[in-house]
Amino acid sequence: MSNSTNLTMDKPTPTSLLDTGAQGLIGEPLQRTEGPLKVSGNATYAAEYALEKVAYGVLVGSDFTLGKITKVDAESVKSLPGVIDVVTDFDSFARNPQQGGETKAPTQGVEDVAYRGEIVAIVVAESFEAARDAAHRVVVEHDAPKAEGRYDFETQRHKTDKPADDQIPAHFSQGDLAGAMAEAPHVLDVTYTTPSQNSAAMEPHATTAHWDEDGILNIYGAYQMPSSDKQQLAKALGVSASKVRIIARYIGGGFGSKLGIAPEAVAAAIAARQLGRPVKCVMARSQVFEATVRRSNTEQRMRLGADAQGKLTAIGHDSLVSNLDGEDFFEPCGMATHFLYAAENREINHDMVRLDWLLAGSMRAPGEAVGQLALECAMDELAEAIGIDPIELRHINEPDCDPETQVPFSSRQLTRCLDEGARKFGWDKRAAPGTTRDGEWLVGLGVAAAARGNMLQKSAAKVTINVLGKATVETDMTDIGTGTYTILGQIAGELLGIPLEDVEVKLGDTNSPPGAGSGGSWGAGSSGSSVYLACENLREQIAEKMGVAAEGLTLKDGHAIGDNRRVSLSELVGDRGLSAEGAIAPGKQEKDTRQSSYGAHFAEVGVNTTTGEVRVRRMLGVFAAGRILNEKTARSQCLGGMTFGIGAALTEDLIHDPRNGKLVNRDLAEYHVPVNADVPQLDVVFLEERDVHANPLHAKGIGELGISGAGAAIANAVYNACGVRVRDFPITLDKILDGLPAM
Amino acid sequence: MHFTINGQSHEVEPDIRTSLLDLLREHVGLTGSKKGCDHGQCGACTVLINGRRVNSCLTLAVMHQDDDITTIEGLGTPDNLSPMQAAFVKHDGYQCGYCTPGQICSAMGMLDEVKKGWGSHVSKDLTNPELTDEEISERMSGNICRCSAYPNIVDAIREVAGADA
């Protein structure tokens, strides 16, 4: 019998072994298995490996925005006590991080500085203090820039190019949008803007690089996708991928910012190779802001046309986004607009404005997070214009299949989420805008739909049962706070009938089978399926040893039960143990069905009648994302997404100085992520669902569903509270004040 | 110089530029305290100095001769968690875990401040504050959690405070 089981999702998987497992682990709100390590400070992050003779690297970023470097004045700092060297490599250093999942090197070459803060050198010293001091003193001389800087979106917004098609086509058109708009009795044509944002994961980007005696580069790195990061880094360094090992057992948050190899890894690896000793390099928080990745700012024109009853005949979603020269990624604002609502005439376009700002790339729910701010606020505005309830408007426009490709939805419970949420939240108490008052606060309710496309990525895992009857799961998949350690243990434990405490999950090491990595909400579905398949194979091996058919086998509490016998796994597998590999790959189901998770957000806010300050008073998210593998960690993912939504709606605004391209607010005191006092107790409800088209787990992605639409519910609640519609995010008090009713 | 860290004596001669956080992480080998911003803006480095919560990145090691410093490692171990650590696990008061040591140290210091009757911006009674959810949120707002486990952090702290009262 082969000890590997592979599955390409060309067909639905009508049955799942998770429904017949006997261990009782799936779906339960179990505590994180790695929890005790994290709460006691014993989980080891990238900069926390005690390597012998490790040197400290501090990065030097350009303190000018454009121009060719003529000299990095290293000599003046090399004599400082403790300084070992100033290392730079104009050709090899990464200009900016790579995007997630790419196998090419990031854009390299730092001599011609492309944006302010670009990493141009690394100072290495015996201590962090010496390296930091020297890095601050390094003078980087440069020529005047050849061209005038493009620092201001407003002045550049008319010079666009059409980016290459990516996850979705850059441009899409169906029917006659202009004609439908001209004929529609109800039309909306409004423009929303969202600013650049930063993922602001709590752990700054960090790499400890160590070339061992076998010429292998060992990277302890804060990376979400080690399999592809390894290839990116190898190409950047000009070595074979087999010479690079990435270890990322714990990652202090990512949210997209750690998908691709970033400048610190390339710099640390080059310095370590040159100096012949390990180099540890942690970005300063200001460098995380300046030299990693931002979510693009967006300008989104929304056009909606509806008939007298509110049925949409036209949907137009035109987005302007920005990025550096030479970078293809465009913020796919219209991703969910493709399938969220029915309408015959549709245009969904993305155009690129080239700016000399840092890289734009993925941040939690690229596309949907900001795209649904626009779409879901526009739906609210349209409902108001027609004079119907916004939930009713969504009911009227619920499509029965994908409105563009006509393929069926794999599963979709959007309207149930809305109805269930309305009931639980007390939606019937919503009054006319500006009419509910609580002391000095105007109070309002808002709703928005949530949709996040479901994706499956290639992922592999190995599962072993040893002579003690204990299981080990190995894959280079990561847990960035998402709960991977726990859910992979649950899946293996359920299918093998082994208690969770006897399942060890080893993640984040590229010496293990390549996993999907953490991104795009595909982690649980993809890596979970690979573990499922490996365990399915093990079940067959166990059945064979038991002499029963796999279907007649029950595995529970470390025992195999079948044919009226109960035998311990320990005894069955013997001294040599059993192992199997599982691998999942996306297939025809991707095209044969439209796959997405859905939800509904409800928000109640207060707007201060004197100051215009907005406070979120309560929020509810109702979600349907296929099978929920762990109710506790899934709920936490949703809480996190909803809180990102609070930030996007009310506080987060990465400001680029239009005069010189400098980031104005490159720290956590000035870039405002929500703090504890900004977040009330949030409610999360999951609807029961199975998606047989998604994967054998019947689970869909959940990590980004919570952010999609969340900010729109808040914005719509602000309008309901005070009657002021702010279309320029974030909704800060200065944008509300003028429109408030007179005192 | 002499420091008492988690009840143990340490003799270290730090660079005068070394922050207390870097002393702990790079010289004593206690990496439980995290560096999130190095500017006192995120709270991930929070430790207890003579019982009070302090951002250890904002204070130089040389200022702490003979001080009694408690880090996350001093509160409990994976096999023997303190009640606050156990409550964070139970209520899922964390996700990636990077801000967590700071949150927990901060929570310990914060509960002591409430016990001493220190008021806050949201206290109804400035000299005898009641530990409402609003008080917990306000007093824990110096500790950023980008994964946004805030509601669960409040649940964990409320439970521990309740058991203590």
Using CA of residue A116, residue A121, residue A123, residue A128, what is the dihedral sign? positive
Q: How far is it, in rounded angstroms, from Cα B70 to Cα A387?
A: 61
In this prediction, residue A741 carries a pLDDT of 83
CATH number at residue B25: 3.10.20.30
- Picking from A424, A455, A336, A430, the residue whose alpha carbon sits closest to that of residue A621 is A424
Q: How far is it, in rounded angstroms, from Cα A141 to Cα A469?
A: 64
Q: Are residues B19 and B91 in the same domain?
A: no
Contact flag B36-A199 (C-beta cutoff 8 Å): no
Of B104, B133, B147, the CB nearest to A640: B147
Chain B residue nearest residue A42, CA to CA: B32
Which range among A144-148, A645-649, A691-695 shows the weakest confidence by mean pLDDT? A144-148
Catalytic residue list contains A704: yes
Q: Are residues B38 and B90 in the same domain?
A: no
A399 has pLDDT over 70 = yes
Contact flag B96-A481 (C-beta cutoff 8 Å): yes
Q: Are residues B61 and B98 in the same domain?
A: no
Q: Region A267-280: what's the mean pLDDT?
A: 98
A742 has pLDDT over 90 = no
In this prediction, residue A113 carries a pLDDT of 97
Domain boundary, last residue among B41, B75, B109:
B75
In this prediction, residue A1 carries a pLDDT of 63
Q: Region A543-552: what's the mean pLDDT?
A: 94
Q: Do B39 and A668 contact (CB within 8 A), yes or no?
A: yes
pTM, full prediction: 0.98
Closest-CA distance, B118 to chain A, in angstroms, reads 18
User: For residue A43, which residues of chain B lie inside 8 Å, CB to CB?
Assistant: 97
Topology given in CATH for the domain delimited by A4-30+457-586? Aldehyde Oxidoreductase; domain 4 (3.30.365)
Q: Do A207 and A281 contact (CB within 8 A), yes or no?
A: yes
A641: phi then psi, degrees, rounded to nearest 5: -65, -45
Question: What is the pLDDT of chain A when averaged over all its residues?
Answer: 97
Looking at the structure of chain B, the number of domains it has is 2
Non-local (6+) Cβ contacts of A687 within 8 A are A413, A416, A417, A420, A622, A623, A624
CATH number at residue B112: 1.10.150.120
A743 has pLDDT over 90 = no
Closest-CA distance, A587 to chain B, in angstroms, reads 31
B13 touches chain A (CB under 8 A): no
Chain A residue nearest residue B31, CA to CA: A48
pLDDT band per the 50, 70, 90 thresholds, residue A406: very high
Contact flag B72-A40 (C-beta cutoff 8 Å): yes
Q: Are residues B147 and B96 in the same domain?
A: yes
pLDDT band per the 50, 70, 90 thresholds, residue A146: confident
Using CA of residue A552, residue A553, residue A556, residue A561, what is the dihedral sign? positive
Q: Are residues B67 and B104 in the same domain?
A: no
Q: Are residues B124 and B93 in the same domain?
A: yes
Contact flag B36-A202 (C-beta cutoff 8 Å): yes
Q: Are residues B89 and B63 in the same domain?
A: no
pLDDT band per the 50, 70, 90 thresholds, residue A424: very high
Size of interface A-B (CB pairs under 8 A): 196
pLDDT tens figures, B49-101: 999 999 999 999 999 999 999 999 999 999 999 999 999 999 999 999 999 99
A462 has pLDDT over 80 = yes
B128 touches chain A (CB under 8 A): no
Q: How far is CA A202 from CA A36, A97, A486, B75, B117, in A?
A: 19, 18, 21, 22, 31
Q: Are residues B31 and B71 in the same domain?
A: yes
Q: Region A703-719: what's the mean pLDDT?
A: 98
A686: phi then psi, degrees, rounded to nearest 5: -110, 135
Sheet order of strands, A565-568 included: A554-556, A559-562, A565-568
Chain B residue nearest residue A55, CA to CA: B26
pLDDT band per the 50, 70, 90 thresholds, residue A217: very high
Any idea where the domains of chain A sit in the sequence? 4-30+457-586, 46-146+201-291, 367-455+592-734
Q: Are residues B16 and B63 in the same domain?
A: yes
Q: How far, rounded to the nearest angstrom, does the alpha carbon of residue A490 sit from its chain's CA centroid?
A: 23
B145 has pLDDT over 80 = yes
Q: CATH top-level class for A46-146+201-291?
A: alpha beta
Q: Are residues B9 and B71 in the same domain?
A: yes
pLDDT tens figures, A495-514: 999 999 999 999 999 999 99
Q: How far is it, in rounded angstroms, from Cα B109 to Cα B94?
A: 18
pLDDT tens figures, B150-159: 999 999 999 9
pLDDT band per the 50, 70, 90 thresholds, residue B164: low
Chain B residue nearest residue A643, CA to CA: B148
Q: Region A270-276: what's the mean pLDDT?
A: 98
Share of chain A above pLDDT 90, in %: 98
In this prediction, residue A490 carries a pLDDT of 98
B163 has pLDDT over 80 = no
Closest-CA distance, A516 to chain B, in angstroms, reads 18
Spell out where A578-629 has E strands: 578-586, 596-608, 614-624
Closest-CA distance, B66 to chain A, in angstroms, reads 23
Non-local (6+) Cβ contacts of A695 within 8 A are A9, A13, A456, A525, A526, A528, A529, A584
Topology given in CATH for the domain delimited by A367-455+592-734? Aldehyde Oxidoreductase; domain 4 (3.30.365)
Per-residue DSSP letters for A430-490? --STT--EETTEEEEEEEEEEEEE-----EEEEEEE-TTS-EEEE-S---SSSSHHHHHHH
Is there a common fold for A4-30+457-586 and A367-455+592-734? yes
Q: Region A38-45: what's the mean pLDDT?
A: 98
Contact flag A640-B149 (C-beta cutoff 8 Å): yes
In this prediction, residue A331 carries a pLDDT of 98
Q: Are residues B68 and B94 in the same domain?
A: no
For residue A314, what are its two tokens?
A: 């036209």
Of B78, B136, B142, the CB nearest to A37: B78
Residue spans of alpha helices (H) in A27-97: 35-39, 75-78
Question: For residue A124, what are the β-bridge partners?
Answer: A57, A85
B165 has pLDDT over 60 = no
Q: How far is it, in rounded angstroms, from Cα A248 to Cα A518?
A: 11
Q: How far is it, in rounded angstroms, from Cα A450 to Cα A597?
A: 8
Q: How far is it, in rounded angstroms, from Cα A399 to Cα A394?
A: 10
Closest-CA distance, B27 to chain A, in angstroms, reads 10
Burial B30-58 (b: 16+ CB within 10 A, else e): bbbbbbbbbebbbbbbbbbbeeebbbbbe
Q: How far is it, in rounded angstroms, from Cα B2 to Cα B8?
A: 10
- Picking from A687, A709, A700, the residue whose alpha carbon sits closest to that of residue A641 is A709
B46 touches chain A (CB under 8 A): no
| CB atoms near residue A89 (< 10 Å) | 19
User: For residue A201, which residues of chain B lie inside 8 Å, CB to CB?
Assistant: 96, 98, 146
Contact flag B146-A482 (C-beta cutoff 8 Å): no
ipTM passes above 0.85:
yes
In this prediction, residue A57 carries a pLDDT of 98
Range of the domain at B107: 83-164
Chain A residue nearest residue B95, CA to CA: A481
Q: Do A531 and A488 contact (CB within 8 A), yes or no?
A: yes
Q: How far is CA A331 from CA A218, A317, A335, in A?
A: 33, 13, 9
pLDDT band per the 50, 70, 90 thresholds, residue B32: very high
